[in-house]
Amino acid sequence: MRGAMWDAAIVGAGPAGSTAAALLAARGFKVLLLDRAAFPRPKPCAEYLGPGALSILQRIGFDPPASASRSPICGMRIVAADGTAFEGRFLAPERGIGIRRELLDTALVELAARRGACVLERTTVTDLLLEERRVVVNARTDHHRALTFEARLLIGADGLHSRIAQRLGLAGKPRFKRVAIVSHAQGIELQDGLAEIHLGPDGYLGLAPVGGGLVNVAVVTGAGRPPGMPLEKWFGTVLRGYPEVERQLPEVTFVHRPQAVGPFGIRCLSPVAHRAVLVGDAAEFYDPLTGDGIYAAVRGAELIDRCVSRALEKDALTVRQLSGYRRARNRAFAGKRIVERVVVGTAKRPRFSVLARFFKRHPGAADFLVRLTGHAELGGFNKVLSRTLPAAAPVPGEEGPARGAVCRVGS
């Protein structure tokens, strides 16, 4: 493996990295996929896949083992802070699923390996060296063994707070100060086939069935953790702010310790640098309220396959030559960005209860809202927006650090 020149070295084997690896390897490129974790690995997430994400996964041949339990989701029940609740449903046969990230992400890594990518787990990328004709990636294994790889293209798929984006000089700042706490529970009652979102005074709570009688409980809060309070106690305190869930708590068993993650809402300055592209959360993170981060991760990987693979064939990998990927992302995600801002902005307002009563009276409008946030295939809307978007101005830092510079990725 050492000494070989990889066509693409991908840092991060979450949905974005694994999908990009599977697609590029299937085209015959020599692909190296690196992750600091060993799969299955835990990943704090609400574990809801909307129909848009599901259809891409099916398109790329995603096939989790039959033993991987999951739960079909045919819509969303939304509960406003004053208790007004309404439901929106997908149009059959559209549906989503709830599936544990350990299962989903492991199945995607296995797909990448089956398609021919070389997967190295327990390998943390520590340094980058960007040169005119290659990228040198330095890594260390869990056993402190130093490894060096050379690739023609680097794909940063290392998730929220991406070190690769930081070191390429492309990282943006978090837009939301919220953090999330996530666990799995037994004993929570949900309406058949529906996931739930409960809005609270300073955040929201998501409940998604993930199969095997388990419900994913993900609470997002803007209130800071009281000094010295253990995470479990804080989780319980925040949950008690949601009356419908609080009533069920005596019957509920959490099957593992909660995990915390945040803050969110990061969008990089540009997903493109010399011989490097970013994808998934490393490129852009959406507020989990509109879900579909996994959709953005796998759709972004498809865009790499479409826009970057041709550049890779010709070894035409300068910022300008890769800019088709940036334009394709803008076209693909313009609608989603607007929907996220409108939904997150509206849900925070005390008057959301008035809207909730409207949606309760108008089930067709509620279905549309849920399809819009969960489906994410905002095709027509995106096309109109992309025609009206101003031409992208040059982005400071887009060229990344001076070529030949060493970028230290570790903390």
Ligand X SMILES: Cc1cc2nc3c(=O)[nH]c(=O)nc-3n(C[C@H](O)[C@H](O)[C@H](O)COP(=O)(O)OP(=O)(O)OC[C@H]3O[C@@H](n4cnc5c(N)ncnc54)[C@H](O)[C@@H]3O)c2cc1C
- Binding stretches for ligand X (CB under 6 A): 11-17, 34-37, 43-49, 53, 124-125, 157-160, 163, 180, 182, 218, 261, 280-282, 288, 291-295, 297, 409
Residue 214 neighbours by CB under 8 Å, 6+ apart: 100, 184, 185, 186, 255
Structure tokens at 349: 């307002």
Shortest separation between residue 393's beta carbon and ligand X, angstroms: 26
Write the burial class of residue 247 (CB in 10 Å: 0-12 exposed, 13-18 middle, 19+ buried): exposed
Which amino acid does the sequence have at 264?
Answer: F
Show contacts of 64-68: CB within 8 Å, 24+ apart: 64/99, 64/103, 64/104, 64/107, 65/107, 68/99, 68/100, 68/103, 68/104, 68/107
The minimum distance between CB 341 and ligand X, in angstroms, equals: 17
Kindly state the DSSP code that residue 176 receives in the 8-state scheme. -
What does the alpha-carbon distance between residue 56 and residue 54 come to, in Å, rounded to a whole number?
5
CB of 217 to ligand X, least distance (A): 11
Concatenating the DSSP letter of every residue in 236-257 gives HHHHTTSHHHHHHGGG-EESS-
The owner of tokens 């058949």 is: 192
Minimum separation from the CB atom of position 409 to ligand X (A): 5
Task: Give Cβ neighbours of residue 179 (< 8 Å, ≥ 6 apart).
Answer: 220, 221, 225, 260, 261, 262, 263
Q: Which two tokens stand for residue 142?
A: 């869990």
Tokens at 315, concatenated:
């070894």
CA angle 237, 86, 239 (to 5 degrees): 5
> Does residue 103 contact residue 15 with C-beta atoms inside 8 Å?
no
CB of 297 to ligand X, least distance (A): 4
- Please report which residue ranges of 115-195 form alpha helices under DSSP H: 163-167
Exposed, middle or buried: residue 245 (CB in 10 Å: 0-12, 13-18, 19+)?
buried
In our burial notation (b when 16+ CB lie closer than 10 A, e otherwise), range 7-25 reads bbbbbbbbbbbbbbbbbbb
CA atoms within 13 A on the CB side of 338: 13
Nearest to 169 by CA among 182, 187, 156, 188: 156
